[in-house]
Amino acid sequence: MKHLPLFFDLAGRRLVVVGEGPAADRRADLARSAGADVVRIAAEGAQAGDFRGAVAAFVATGDLDRDTAVQRLAKAAGVPVNVADRPALCDFILPAIVDRDGIVVAISTGGASPTLATILRGRIEAALPERLGALARLAAAFRAQVNALISDPARRRAFWRRLVDGPAARLALAGDEAGARRVALGDLDAARRAMAPVGIAHIVGAGPGDPDLLTLRAAQLLQEADAILHDELVPAVLLARARRDAEMIAVGKRKGSAGWAQADIERELVRRVRAGQTVVRLKAGDPFIFGRGGEEVDALRAAGLPVSIVPGVTAALGCAASAGIPLTHRRLSSAVTFVSGHGADGREASWPSLAAGLGERGDHTLAIYMGASEAAAVRDRLLNSGASAATPVAIVENGTRADERVSTGRLGDLARLAAAHTARPDAGPSLIIVGDVAALAAVASSPPLAKVS
């Protein structure tokens, strides 16, 4: 190891930056962010006395002779110095830094390749949660209590491991710091009494099907889950991204086939979380868009159990984008409505108000979920409510997936178009898009759009 990584407390300490321009500005800003008392000096005006009492100096004049002269002044004053882009003149080097609200990662190549350090920083930033500082604050808040209440070193280590990589951590990283503290208190009490702590449920959106559209947080949770309760519409290629030893439970159902009742799913979630498991409830699309995720959150909260929500790319957005259809368009559509024909307790959408934006001067888009098998009824409701039979429509089956199929036409012919998507035994989930923007799918298909995946 050529350089020893050290973290100095610069709060209130004098630090000198010599030079002008972007390199000097970046170093000054970085030092200020650490609390240093930054003194800026022009390259031509640097004198030996400027460095007296300084903890360190940055030099970035851009000229080798000036850099060398200023470096000698700093060295003569006994001040360690860093000279931008001149490793041979440096007492210390400036690493690439990832700062997550107090959690700091420094990457150094020993001055060999700043570009490589920058690339590595980008990869580390992508892997670290944005709210990591909240997790550090949670650990700091419990340190004294843990040391006082858990005397056995092995149990204490087990508590800390669970705190920073368990249910409380997930709530903190999701922004629920109050919930994280409640769970941590429960874990502390369980550890003190040598009891098994409860687990946590994550209600996770799987997106429309393309595994590359899975959110980073969802992918992380799939690797942490003890059990995954998934919909039938979640494809196998996406489930393959889960931890290999995770228990897979298919709890969804397709229309017309038997499956788990919603109350049974909620009871299973509660049972597993109470048993201490980390459970992912994986839903196609987004759990809060016709996914009944709200009901499952209510059940878990009513049981006093920790739960987090991870949104996903909903089918309307993913399928429309994959088919080249903008749901809103400056010239064609100023609003979009997500509609389902299968409401709870027989409730239906207000079709007259929806159809009002689909006339000759319509500027509205409808994204209709679970409507392909009832295309004739959807067509009739819209036409009877005043929509124009000439309104463009598109049907996107298996949107964003490799076997995506798109049909376009007019509202008056919706039932015939849908039949081509529902007649096959292997038919996938379909989304109906109604409105002038649907006509753009045909335009987008020549030449074909590059797929996201």
Read off the pLDDT of residues 130-142 as tens digits, 9 standing for 90 and up: 899 999 999 999 9
Q: Write down the pLDDT at residue 352.
A: 83
299 pLDDT higher than 60: yes
Contact 275, 305 (CB under 8 A): no
Mean pLDDT (whole number) for 276-282 = 94
Q: Write down the pLDDT at residue 407.
A: 94
> In this predicted model, what pLDDT tens digit does every residue of 200-212 receive, in sequence order?
999 999 999 999 9
Under the banding of pLDDT at 50, 70 and 90, the label for residue 259 is confident
| DSSP code, position 33 | H
Q: What is the CATH number of domain 14-94?
A: 3.40.50.720
Q: Which position among 253, 380, 413, 436 bears the catalytic label?
A: 253
CA separation for the pair 280, 308 (Å, rounded): 10
253 labelled catalytic: yes
Alpha-carbon distances, residue 408 vs 182, 341, 390, 437 (angstroms) = 52, 21, 12, 11
Mean pLDDT (whole number) for 220-238 = 93
Contact 224, 278 (CB under 8 A): yes
Say if residue 167 is preceded by a cis peptide, omega within 30 of 0: no
Q: What are 38's two structure tokens? A: 């930054």
Q: What is the CATH number of domain 198-313?
A: 3.40.1010.10
Q: What is the CATH number of domain 316-444?
A: 3.30.950.10
Q: Write down the pLDDT at residue 453.
A: 32
Under the banding of pLDDT at 50, 70 and 90, the label for residue 447 is very low
Q: Write down the pLDDT at residue 442.
A: 60
CA separation for the pair 83, 74 (Å, rounded): 11
* Count of residues making up the chain: 453
Contact 241, 248 (CB under 8 A): no
Query: What phi, psi does 397 have (nearest 5°)?
Result: -105, 135
> In this predicted model, what pLDDT tens digit does every residue of 83-130 receive, in sequence order?
999 989 999 988 999 998 889 999 988 878 889 999 999 999 988 888
Give SS3 for 180.
Answer: helix
252 pLDDT higher than 50: yes
Q: Write down the pLDDT at residue 127.
A: 85
Mean pLDDT (whole number) for 65-72 = 96
Could you give the angle at which helices 414-422 and 375-384 cross, rounded to 10 degrees? 160
Mean pLDDT (whole number) for 20-44 = 95
Mean pLDDT (whole number) for 35-41 = 97
What average pLDDT is seen over the chain?
Answer: 89
Q: Write down the pLDDT at residue 297.
A: 97
Q: Write down the pLDDT at residue 258.
A: 61
Could you give the angle at which helices 132-149 and 153-165 cross, rounded to 10 degrees? 160
Percent of the chain beyond pLDDT 70?
93
Q: Write down the pLDDT at residue 401.
A: 93
Please state which of the ranges 156-160, 250-254, 274-278, 346-350 shows the lowest mean pLDDT: 346-350
Exposure string (b/e) for 202-239, b if CB count within 10 Å is 16 or more?
bbbbbbbbbbebbbebbebbbebbbbbbbbebbbeebb
Query: What phi, psi does 329 have (nearest 5°)?
Result: -155, 135
Please indicate, yes or no, whether the overall pTM of this predicted structure exceeds 0.75: no
Nearest residue to 27 (alpha-carbon basis) of 102, 104, 85, 110 = 85
Q: Which position among 50, 176, 231, 286 bears the catalytic label?
A: 231
65 labelled catalytic: no
Q: Which residue has the tokens 């670290």?
A: 128
> In this predicted model, what pLDDT tens digit does every residue of 378-394 receive, in sequence order?
999 999 988 999 999 99
Q: Which residue has the tokens 């892997």?
A: 127
> In this predicted model, what pLDDT tens digit does every residue of 346-380 receive, in sequence order?
456 688 888 887 866 678 999 999 888 889 999 99
CA separation for the pair 143, 163 (Å, rounded): 11
